[in-house]
Each structure stands twice: as C-alpha cells, then as structure tokens.
Amino acid sequence: MKKIVFIHLLNDFSGSPKVLSQVINTANQTEVDTYLYTCSGGTGFLSSVKAKCFSFPYKHFNNKFLTLLSFFTSQLILFFKLLKYRKDSDVVFYINTMLPFGAALAGKVLGKRVLYHIHETTIKPVILKRFLRSIIKMTASEVVFVSEYLRDVEVFDGVESTVIYNGIADQKYLPRPKKHSELFTVLMICSLRSYKGVHEFITLAKEILKIKPKVCFTLILNASESDVNSFFQNEDLPMNLTIVTKLPDVTHYYLASDLLVNLSILMKLIP
C-alpha cells in the first residue's frame, strides 16, 4: 500500500500545521498509510491527527545560535530516522514548510518522491534561507504553494509547482452576537515574531489610547506565557491591550472583535 510520510518541524497552533492537519485528514480518506514526523514535546494542531506518529528532538531558544544548533541537530537525527523507508518502493515524503531539509536529503538519497508544501517566504538568517532553497532545488519533485504570489517570489526553476489555496475545514459560521459593550475591539492573531508587526500593533494601541480610550486591542500570540513575558520584558504595554497566549480555538475572539488587522512587515525577498 502507498505510504505518505508527512514531516513538519514545530507542532503548534500556527497556520502551517493547521493546513497540514487538513491534508493528513484528507489523505486518511484514501487508501494510503499516513505517517507523521514532528518535534517532540510540542502541542498543536498535529497532536490529534490520525497518523502513525514519530518524533525527533528540537527546541526553540531565546538565543538564536542555540536555536540554530538545535535545528541542525534535529535535521541530522531526522535524516537517519527516515532511512528506514529505503525498502519501501511506493512512499512519498511530504515536507511542510522549507525547514525540514533532513527529510528532503533522505528522500533524495533513497530515490523517493519529495513534495514540498510552502506557506511563507520569511526565513532568517538570510544564509539559512539560501541554504534551504538550494536543498529544495536539488531534491524536490514538486512544490505546492499556498498562493500565486508566493509561487512568483519563491520560484524554483526546473521544479514542477502547483498552487493550492488554503481551505477552511469543519468551520461553523456563527452569527455575530449583539455587543453590549461600548468598546471597539481591534484583534490581531500571529506568531511571536517582530516581522509579524507585533511592536507596530502595540505602538498603535498606545497612540489610539491617547485619543480614543474606548478602543481596546487584543493580541493573540502563538507562544507560551514565558516566551511572551521574555519578549516584552523591556516593553511598556498600554492598559488598553490584552495579550492572550496560544489557543486551539479563537472563534470567540473573532466574534467579539470589530476589526481584524494584519501588520506583517514586507521583508526584502531573497533571490
């Protein structure tokens, strides 16, 4: 029977593992065996998927050098773990995001089909992104992009590409309840990264507080409370701002908000 081995680095409540969980659920409706490799210790959208799950060590540190060391170590371990599929003739390595390059190299060595699912273009440092792009060019059989824009800016010459837009699965559309509060609520949901516009959101809240005290701001971050405290330790947070740590379901916050914003900073693209 055909096997699909899904690989994702960090299992959390961000967009890419959410989309991957939908892909796995769809694959489970066909006659294939599904396997999932992701980092140990994480809790997120991949925690409840119905696949045979395996883990490899990886941890994000506040120190970027420790994080890079952990990342490259995790990929070395992942590479050797995936060599066990050398005798499986009908297996596909499905790599979610650019990051799990250890799986791509294993697929190349074993002569397996390697499919990449790419969700965004921002990866730092620059040298890491160039390295990951070179691995994709060398190993990928096909690349799936989530938008035409992303395919245009991250084109891989000579590699087959497809655009599949992200979908909303099993989503119940609820009527917006009548608000009993005079407050106007501005909502932003993102990862705890500067390029997501986190500092700009806080600055906006501070400036609005001076002129419109009945406008409140809610920031939902895909991060632990300790990471949030560390990130904002030198930041003077305004009284009209509420910060919420990672949640599996944010429907309530969508329904209670008047305006949803995305303040992501456009980064310089890397050829």
- Does some domain include residue 268? no
pLDDT of 159 reads 94
CATH of the domain at 229: 3.40.50.2000
pLDDT of 210 reads 93
Whether 144 and 44 map to the same domain: the answer is yes
Domain boundary, last residue among 128, 163, 198: 163
Return the SS3 of 158. Answer: coil
The residue range of the domain holding 138 is 3-163
Whether 91 and 215 map to the same domain: the answer is no
pTM (whole model) above 0.75: yes
Whether 154 and 202 map to the same domain: the answer is no
Residue carrying structure tokens 């701001």: 217
Whether 93 and 126 map to the same domain: the answer is yes
Return the SS3 of 107. Answer: helix
- Does some domain include residue 246? yes
Whether 19 and 130 map to the same domain: the answer is yes
- Does some domain include residue 172? no
Residue carrying structure tokens 């490899």: 56
- Does some domain include residue 171? no
- Does some domain include residue 267? no
Whether 152 and 247 map to the same domain: the answer is no
- Does some domain include residue 175? no
Domain boundary, last residue among 163, 194, 218: 163
Return the SS3 of 81. Answer: helix
Number of domains in the chain: 2
pLDDT along the chain (271 residues), means of 10: 93 90 94 94 87 93 88 97 94 97 98 95 87 96 95 92 83 60 89 89 95 94 88 91 87 88 70 45
- Does some domain include residue 168? no
- Does some domain include residue 194? yes
Q: How many CA atoms lie within 13 Å of 195's alpha carbon, on the beta-carbon side?
A: 9
Whether 216 and 252 map to the same domain: the answer is yes
Whether 189 and 125 map to the same domain: the answer is no
pLDDT of 270 reads 43
pLDDT of 170 reads 60
Task: Tell me the pLDDT tens digit for each residue of 146-175.
Answer: 999 999 989 899 999 999 998 766 656 556
Whether 11 and 141 map to the same domain: the answer is yes
Whether 89 and 153 map to the same domain: the answer is yes
pLDDT of 191 reads 86
- Spatial CA neighbour of 79 closest among 110, 59, 102, 56: 102
Whether 74 and 188 map to the same domain: the answer is no
Q: Please provide the DSSP assignment of 207-266 as one string.
A: HHHHH-TTEEEEEEEES-HHHHHHHTTT----TTEEEE---S--HHHHHH-SEE---PPP
Whether 99 and 53 map to the same domain: the answer is yes
Task: Tell me the pLDDT tens digit for each residue of 199-240.
Answer: 999 999 999 999 998 999 999 998 888 889 989 988 899 999
pLDDT of 151 reads 93
pLDDT of 175 reads 62
